[in-house]
Structure 1
Amino acid sequence: MESDEGFKIAVEEAKKGAAEGGIPIGACLVSADGKVLGRGHNMRLQKSSPTIHAEIAALEDAGRQPASSYKGATMYTTLSPCDMCTGACILYKIGRVVLGENETFVGGEDYLKHRGIEVVNVRSAECEGLMRDFIRDHPEDWWVQNMHKKSS
């Protein structure tokens, strides 16, 4: 599989999530030998779940894998991974994270690098556009903007 095929799948997943009324973030986990292990998209809104982020959905879709499957694998994601998803990549020793953009949200990229995981930002205008449109149209659903607001 070409290295950008996993990214194309992640973008497809992000669009699928948007079409469902969710946050347009997608992910795809690809083994070192190019096999798609899992794919998924953020389901936080659709399932009212605080934990079904795109990377977690891709890991869930992959099912239980031998530890060797994760070594050298690449997690393609359309947005910089949050702390939870960063932790999952570290826990499973995923070797590389390719992200679409980090302009609308900066996650745990530095920590991934610190833990020896290669991080590549492809700076996708398409991914950034999907997120900017979502944030503009649904500011109440973008937790990053709401997490620092004082409660009344």
Structure 2
Amino acid sequence: MPLSFHVKTKHYNKNIYAHLTIFFKFFRICSKIFSIMEDIDQYFMKAAIDQAYIALENEDVPVGAVIVKENKIIGKGYNQRHHLNDPTAHAEIIALTAAAEYVGHWRLHGCTIYVTLEPCPMCAGALVLARMDRLVFGCTDPKTGACGSLYNIVQDQRLNHRLEVTKDVLGQDCATLLQDFFRNKRKPIEDSA
């Protein structure tokens, strides 16, 4: 009896070692994949930040967005509310329109949107309606954010489509851009007081 127990234990230990070896190899591969995905997310978020700077140059709230399919930008947008006198001319809406024109259809399956600020309720609803796969945003919006801050429209179980969400990609860069914009907007008011 003790001999058979010893043999079983030895065999059991070999199996554990083999399984642990496979697990750690798998873990290393997953870590590399997540690292690559993180690099890709940062790359495309920088493209969205570039769009936000265009809005800033046009004296609009610096929010930018890009839509990506198969690692290619197929739609770009930046806030143009003041320039177009259109309350719906948010970066996400402009990018969605450009992407839909590019693919020739309103359904944007297989697409990811990168946006510098958490989308508002209107834009979050548009992302759901466009059947986007994924949303990546820079900084949260505690006042009107509809992707986790105030509401979570893009992951609402009652709706017929939901998006995968990644937040805080280059979040500090995005937040600083917005904070500087609003600080400069308020400065003339403070100086005259």
Same fold (TM over 0.5): yes
Q: Give the root-mean-square deviation of aligned CA atoms.
A: 2.1
**Alignment match of 2:99 (pick from 49, 62, 65):** 62
Q: Paired residue for 2:182?
A: 135
Q: Paired residue for 2:164?
A: 118
Q: Which has the larger share of helix? A: 2
C-alpha contact (below 8 Å) 1:67/1:92 kept by paired residues: no
C-alpha contact (below 8 Å) 1:26/1:54 kept by paired residues: yes
Q: Paired residue for 2:34?
A: none
Partner SS for 2:97 = helix
Q: Deviations over 1:41-77 (max 9, x none)?
A: 0001122210110001111222422559711210100
Does the C-alpha gap of structure 1 residues 113 and 63 become closer, same or farther in structure 2, counting only changes over 3 Å?
closer
Does the C-alpha gap of structure 1 residues 97 and 13 become closer, same or farther in structure 2, counting only changes over 3 Å?
same
Partner SS for 1:39 = strand
Q: Paired residue for 1:150?
A: none
- The worse-fitting range, judged by mean Cα deviation, of 63-72 and 91-100 is 63-72
Q: Indicate the percent of aligned positions where both proteins have the same amino acid.
A: 32
Q: Paired residue for 2:44?
A: 6
Structure 1 length-normalised TM: 0.81
Consecutive unaligned residues in structure 1, runs of 5 or more:
140-152
Q: Deviations over 1:65-104 (max 9, x none)?
A: 2559711210100000011111110001101100010156
Query: Hey, which bits of structure 1, 4+ residues long, moved more than 3 A?
Result: 66-69, 103-106
> What is the Cα deviation at residue 105 of structure 1?
4.2
1: CA distance between counterparts of 2:43 and 2:107?
Answer: 18
How many equivalent pairs are there? 138
Rg (Cα) greater in structure: 2
